[in-house]
Structure formats: structure tokens, C-alpha cells
Amino acid sequence: MNRLLIIADDFTGALDTGVQFVKAGLRVKVCLWTEFDASLVDENCSIYLLTVSPAIKRAIRPTGDFVRFVNALLTCDLIIFTKKQTRP
């Protein structure tokens, strides 16, 4: 089964998206991007939601946490999406 990583710009967006997947019967984990680690990925979870605020996205530099985050992504077999905000 494919596992997805969805990057949202805040917890509200991540949780709102996560609820829809839970309603469909999938297991979801939500965390901050700084807490994401390859050890969080397991066979029982289908969807991983990470929050990265727009201000942080603009300020991220390739140091410390960011390098660890990218390395964790590269070691996981996940399909990565970015959640875009929709407005009626």
C-alpha cells in the first residue's frame, strides 16, 4: 500500500485533511516537520501530515533540523504532496 506524506501550512489544515482520511478508514499521524523522523513511519499508518508555517518555509536554511528532515524523507518510501489552501 502506498503511504502519503502531506505538507500543510498549519495544524488546522493538517487536522482538517487528516479527519477526511480517518473517515475513509485510514490511520493518520500529524506532527511538526521538526519532529518528523524515519522511525515514525510504520506499516500500519497510511498518511503522514506535517505542518510547516509559511514564515518557516521562507526562513528555512539547510542546517541542523532541515538537513535531518530531508534525510528522513529520503530514507522513507513516501509519496509527498503539498496541501494547497482552497477558498470558496
Q: Domains in the chain: how many in total?
A: 1
**What is the pTM (predicted TM-score) of this model?**
0.69
Residue 51 lies in a domain: yes
pLDDT digits (tens, 9 = 90+) for 13-27: 888 888 988 999 988
Residue 8 lies in a domain: yes
Cβ proximity of 76 and 70 under 8 Å = no
Cβ proximity of 46 and 1 under 8 Å = yes
Half-sphere exposure of 80 (CA within 13 A, CB side): 9
Residue 63 lies in a domain: yes
pLDDT bin (cut points 50, 70, 90) of residue 88 is low
What's the domain range around 78?
A: 4-82
- Identify any residues that bridge with 4 across adjacent strands, giving them in sequence order: 47, 79
SS3 76: coil
Residue 87 lies in a domain: no
Phi/psi of residue 6, nearest 5 degrees: -115, 125
The per-residue pLDDT for 23 is 93
pLDDT bin (cut points 50, 70, 90) of residue 43 is confident
Residue 48 lies in a domain: yes
Residue 88 lies in a domain: no
